[in-house]
Amino acid sequence: MHRIVRPAVHLSPQVKFARFEGGLHPLRERSRISVDPHHSGSTEKEAEMSNFKKMGLALAGATLLATGAVAAVQHYPMVGGAEMYPSKTIVQNAMNSKDHTTLVAAVKAAGLVETLSGPGPFTVFAPTNAAFAKLPAGTVDTLLKPENKAKLTSILTYHVVPGKMSAAMLAKNAGMHGGKAMVTTVQGEKLTVTKGPDGHWWVVDAKGGKARITIADVNQSNGVIHVIDGVLMP
């Protein structure tokens, strides 16, 4: 008896993608059939499996590339038109903010650059330029004079709390103490952080002056900054 060899059939599908509600699905348009008398019929299945494997690898690769691209894009808080990088110190980030040029000048005049560039950690309630502008005319210029360094230092360190206190930590502290979180500053006196009826969080100084937290949780390599719209007075 003679064994009958069946010719192998090779499919070379041209694949298009059709758009449905469920997404993209492969759609076979047409196939060209070629006959090879030297191979068994199992070659057809092998060819199809190979094509599916290639397609699967291509889709997996595209997915990985897309995922990697998304993961590579990170957004940091914007303050004064600049991104605040958690890898930089409080002073380095403040120097990049267009809204904190007065604060930076005051920190330099008080000789606190080295301190606020140290390991800390510190929590800083950082007044904006607009906050300093609310003070009586001439106040900032007077404070920046060398003879007023001690008073300037007292005011600035009244905005700094030892340790890193996030907005969530402050809120938890307030919740445990009748809605008011009392924190002791580097200057030595206390500040009160509380939630107002408007839903915003406020920092209240010893004289009853208030400053609203406008941007919270700006993380730094040596602490955290909470931007405020007023200057606190001890």
Give pLDDT tens digits for 46-81: 555 556 555 655 555 555 455 554 445 567 888 888
pLDDT, one tens digit per residue, over 86-120 is 999 999 999 999 999 999 999 999 999 999 999 98
Structure tokens at 209: 């002056």
On the question of pLDDT at 189 being above 70, the answer is yes
Structure tokens at 48: 């199809």
Contacts of 179 (CB under 8 A, 6+ apart): 194, 195
What pLDDT, on a 0 to 100 scale, did the predictor assign at position 55?
61
What pLDDT, on a 0 to 100 scale, did the predictor assign at position 58?
57
> In the chain, where are the structural domains located?
8-72, 78-228
Widest Cα–Cα separation across the chain:
117
What pLDDT, on a 0 to 100 scale, did the predictor assign at position 63?
54
- Could you say which architecture CATH assigns to the domain 78-228? Roll (2.30)
Question: Assign residue 29 a region: left if phi > 0, alpha if psi is -120 to 50, beta otherwise?
Answer: alpha
What pLDDT, on a 0 to 100 scale, did the predictor assign at position 59?
56
| 94 burial via Cβ count (<10 Å: 0-12, 13-18, 19+) | buried
* Least confident span in 9-23, 72-86, 135-149, 171-185: 9-23
- Average pLDDT of span 29-55: 51
Rounded Cα distance, 132 and 114, in Å: 23
On the question of pLDDT at 18 being above 90, the answer is no
Instruction: Give the residues across from 224 on adjacent strands.
Output: 123, 219
- Average pLDDT of span 19-30: 42
pLDDT category, 35, cuts 50, 70, 90?
very low
Instruction: HSE, CB side, 13 Å, CA atoms: give it for residue 137.
Output: 0
On the question of pLDDT at 82 being above 80, the answer is yes
Helix axes 149-157, 101-109, angle to 10 degrees: 120
- Average pLDDT of span 157-172: 96
- Average pLDDT of span 154-175: 96
Closest by CA position to 219, among listed 7, 102, 74, 109? 74
Query: Mean of the per-residue pLDDT values for the chain?
Result: 80
Q: Measure Cα distances from 128 to 15, 102, 133, 136 in Å.
A: 60, 8, 9, 15
- Average pLDDT of span 26-49: 48
User: What pTM, to 2 d.p., does this model score?
Assistant: 0.69
* Least confident span in 39-43, 101-105, 111-115, 175-179: 39-43
* Least confident span in 48-52, 102-106, 133-137, 227-231: 48-52
- Average pLDDT of span 8-22: 43
Rounded Cα distance, 16 and 26, in Å: 6
